[in-house]
Structure 1
Amino acid sequence: MLTILAGFARARMPDGGTFIIATEVIPATGPPKGDAGDAAYGKSRRGTRAATVRLSVTDSRPALDEAATASLFEPYGRAAGSTGIDLAASHGIVAGFGGSLHAVASSGTGSAQGLALAIDLPAIAREDDLPPAGDHPRGGSESILLVDGEDAARGHVAGVLRQLGYSVQDASTAGDALALADDYFADPVDLLITDVSLPDLTGPELVERLLLDRPHLDVLYISSGPMARPRRRRSWSAAKVLREPFEADELAGRVRDVLDARAGRLVGPTN
C-alpha cells in the first residue's frame, strides 16, 4: 500500500521534490450518536470510542483541483500522476479493513505543502478496553458475522471480538453479508451481530433472508432506539438486543451469553 502511494507521489514529481511519510493517532472524541458531531469520521456510535490511526504521505507538487480530487480513486482517474487502477484498488483494500483512504489538508510547511493522502484505520482494541478477568468469560473461538454500515464502529467492535478469540467476518452492507454467509469456503456462522439500520436493508430484513437456510442462526441486534418486532422472527427477546451506547465488557458479556445459550440448545437436556 505504501509503495503504491509513494509511486503516485513520485509520478507527480518527475523533476524531484519533497516526499514526507507521517503517522499519528487521532484521539477518539465526540458525543454519542444523535448528538452534534456524529458525522465526522472516526466518531464511533459505541460507548467506547475507537481512536483512529493515520498514515499520511505528502508530496511537494501543487494540490489537485476539486474535480481531479473527486476522481482520484476512480480506475484510470484523470488526476495527474494517476495511472491504472492502483489507487482505486488501494481504496477498496483499506475500506475492506474498515478504514478510509482519502485526500486531506496538507500539514507540511515550505516545499512540503502539496497533496496529502491519508490512510485512516480504527485502532485495534487495547487490553484496557476489554472486560476485567472474572466479570465475564473472556471469549471463545466461535465464528461471528458482524454487519454495520459505520466503518469506525464496525472496526472497533470487530477488534474487541477478535482480541477475545472469536473468528470475525465483517461487512458494511446486507448484500456483502449475504455473500460472506454463502461463501462455500467460509466458516459456518455461529452468531450474526447486525445493526438495525444498514445502507441497503434493515437488520431484521437481513435476518429474515439468512434464516431461510439457517433456521437455527442466533442474532444479536445493535440498536440505539426502540425496535419494531420483526415480522417473521421465530423468537424475540430483549436479551438479543444490545442497546447503544455500550462498553466493551457489555459487548463481551452479551455475545458470550447468546453463544452459551445456543450451545445449550444444541446439546439438549441431560438426564
Structure 2
Amino acid sequence: MFQFDTGLRFPEKTDSPPINDGFWMRLLTIFLANVCDKQWYRRWKKSNQGVFYVSSKLCLRCSERTRLNEARAMQFVRDHTSIPVPKVYCSIVHRGQVCILMERLPGKPLSHNWVFRSDESKAKILAQLRPMIAELRNVRRPPPPPGSPSNTDIVSGIDGGQFYDGNLPNKRYWGPFSTVREFHRDLRSNLMAVPDEYTEKHFADVRKLVSLHEGYLAVPPVLTHGDLSANNILADGDTVTGIIDWETAAWMPAYWEYTNAWHVNPYNPYWQAEVGKFLEAWPAELEMEKLRRKFFDVY
C-alpha cells in the first residue's frame, strides 16, 4: 500500500475582508448585482465569466467562484506596483455570493488577435510585460501581526488565507500551507512512498515526483497572479492596458507563475511559445509539474 502522511496544517483563514462596504456603496453594488441578474439585462449585455459591463468605466464581477481574495489582490497590487490593475470600488458578500464593483480597463484581451499581430507588435507587448511581472515578484509580503509566527514561508492567499485554483486536483480552495513542502505533499494527496514491488514504469515516475517534491529547495513564496494567459492581459494597439482576473492570486512557489502559464488554456495553444519571453523560465520545476499533472490531474 502507498504510505500517506496527513501532516499538520497552518491555522486556516478562509478569505480576505470586504473593501469599502459602507452602507451606500453596499447598496449600489447590490442594486447593480440585482439588475445584472435580470434576464433582459443578460440578453442585452453578455457577461464574461461572471463579469458584467455596467458602463464604459465600470464592471461588476459576481460568480460562484468569486472570492474577496480577488478584490484584495487587485487592491494590494495597485498599492504596491505600477501594474495596470482595475481599481476596486467595493467588494461585499451578498446572499452567500461575492460581488466586486471595479474599474473597467480599456483594451481587449491579447487572445482577441494575437495570432494576427506582427512579430514587431508581439515583441512590443512582451517587452512591456517583462518588467511588470518582475515588479510583481519583488513585492514584499506584509509582516504578520506582533506576536504571530513568521509568515515568510507560507503558501497562501493574499491575506494569509485560502487561495483558489480551479486547475488543481480534488478541490477548488487550498491552504494555507506552512511551507512549500507541505503544499507539494497536498498536491500529491500526501503520498509519501511507493513500495518496491510496484515495478511498472509509471510507478518509477511517481517515485521520481515524490523525490523531486521532497528534495525541492524552496525559496520563499512570491506574489503570483497564477493565470497569465492571453485572455487575462489587455492591450490597446501595442500598449498593455491591464492585467485582469486575479482570482488565483496568492503567495506561491517561485516557479508557479511560469509552470501555470506554460500549461496554457487549450483554446490558446499559441501562448505556450510566448510564456518564456516575459516570464523567468524554470525548466526543472516544469518537468516536476509535468509529472505531477500526469498522475494528479486537474480538478
User: Which TM-score tier does this pair reach, normalised by the shorter chain?
Assistant: under 0.3
> Whose helix fraction is larger, Structure 1's or Structure 2's?
2
TM-score calculated relative to the size of structure 1: 0.27
Q: TM-score, normalised by structure 2?
A: 0.25
Higher relative contact order (CA 8 A, sep 6+): 2
